Amino acid sequence: MPLPGEFHEIAKRVNNWGRWGPEDEIGTLNLVTDQVVREAAACVRSGRRIPLALPLRQDGVQTGVIPGRVNPLHVMVQINQEIFGPGTVACSDDAVTMGLQAATHWDALPHVSHSGKLYNGRPAGTVTAHGGAAFSGIDKPRHIVSRGVLLDIPRALGRERLEGSYAVTPQDLDAAEEFAGTRVRAGDIVLVRTGQIRTYLSGGKEAYGYPSPGLSVRTPEWFHARDVAAVANDTLTFEVFPPEIEDLWLPVHALHLVEMGMPQGQNWNLEELSTACGEEGRYAFLLSATPEPFVGGTGSPVAPVAVL
């Protein structure tokens, strides 16, 4: 069953293949220029730092529904081990096993493919068990630091939070942008708050994942028009789930990652940031969110920090 024509029409409009050359592996992150970073630094006024990652622990957001996406198993491999003999300085060491997409993370561009293709027209078959993604792996961007803008949809709409299955529209983004009092510009990283992560934070693990509010299939064109570098939000599914168009699953993933070459972030905790931005009355900040450079990774845990 091929993807519907409607999908392909949007795809054509947002496609960035070749825009940064046939060899490009980082897509819209090319938009984060030194100038953008200088402007991001200029956003720092109070020096307040807000962490956006969920704690990494076995009782994480995964429920077992997605095969292989395991919550972190953190183990101690040494505990106060006196390596050099009794009475010497003692060491403790740990190890972890976890899904790279299990917690607060970035999707790398090859995290999804459609019609046999990855970003920039590379064959889907270049992702293999031996080495992961040959192209556009999560190690390729080297750094993700830019201006971040919080689009706080529920606050802009005067709500506590969005209900499950609410599709965030371009109009919602416009409203939140106006509420934020700043215009989203080329190279920005947009954080779209839905409030959905409250469900997880208050113990509703299953309900956090489904049904979920998230981005509408109409929003990639908005991000494309603004030349956004990346988008992250506070949901498990990123896009509205179940999807808006019957039998069209994960269209936003496909448009962002494959067509636009734009990384996506999921399970970002934007609650404290929402409060802080509200208090300071400004929604733009320096965002530092460099992924762990797993060679060939199709994603990576990240510990993003907003500096206001």
Judged by CB under 8 A, the chain residues 142 through 171 that form the site for its own copies are 142-143, 145
Considering only residues 234 to 263 of the shown chain, the ones binding its own copies according to CB under 8 A are 247, 249-251, 253-254
Backbone dihedral angles phi then psi of residue 173, each to the nearest 5 degrees: -65, -40
Report in angstroms how near the CB of residue 178 gets to its own copies at its nearest. Answer: 27
Using CB under 8 A, which of 29, 31, 112, 217 touches its own copies? 112
**Closer of 50 and 173 to its own copies (Cβ):** 50
Using CB under 8 A, which of 13, 18, 75, 183 touches its own copies? 75
Residues 200-239: x where in contact with its own copies by CB under 8 A, - otherwise, as a string:
----------------------------------------
Using CB under 8 A, which of 28, 30, 101, 274 touches its own copies? 101
Considering only residues 19 to 38 of the shown chain, the ones binding its own copies according to CB under 8 A are 33-38
265 interacts with its own copies by CB under 8 A: no
Amino acid at 118: L
Considering only residues 43 to 62 of the shown chain, the ones binding its own copies according to CB under 8 A are 44-51, 53-59
Closest CA to 288 of 33, 26, 37: 37
Report in angstroms how near the CB of residue 170 gets to its own copies at its nearest. Answer: 21
70 interacts with its own copies by CB under 8 A: yes
Sign of CA dihedral 28, 240, 177, 204: negative
**Closer of 5 and 86 to its own copies (Cβ):** 86
CA distance 236 to 107: 12
Contacts of 254 (CB under 8 A, 6+ apart): 3, 7, 11, 112, 114
Report in angstroms how near the CB of residue 21 gets to its own copies at its nearest. Answer: 21
Contacts of 283 (CB under 8 A, 6+ apart): 149, 150, 151, 152, 179, 180, 181, 182, 277
64 interacts with its own copies by CB under 8 A: yes
Considering only residues 272 to 291 of the shown chain, the ones binding its own copies according to CB under 8 A are 286, 288, 290-291
Backbone dihedral angles phi then psi of residue 79, each to the nearest 5 degrees: -130, 115
Report in angstroms how near the CB of residue 272 gets to its own copies at its nearest. Answer: 10
Q: Which residues pair with 81 in a beta bridge?
A: 91
Using CB under 8 A, which of 15, 29, 132, 150 touches its own copies? 132
Binding segment (CB under 8 A) for its own copies, from list 42-50, 172-180, 212-220, 221-229:
42-50
Q: Which residues pair with 117 in a beta bridge?
A: 114, 123
In Å, how far are 43, 157, 194, 307 from 146, measured between CA atoms?
10, 27, 22, 11
Report in angstroms how near the CB of residue 262 gets to its own copies at its nearest. Answer: 15
Q: Which long-range contacts (CB under 8 A, 24 or more apart) does 176-180 make?
A: 176/151, 176/152, 177/149, 177/151, 179/152, 179/155, 179/283, 180/149, 180/150, 180/151, 180/152, 180/156, 180/277, 180/282, 180/283, 180/284
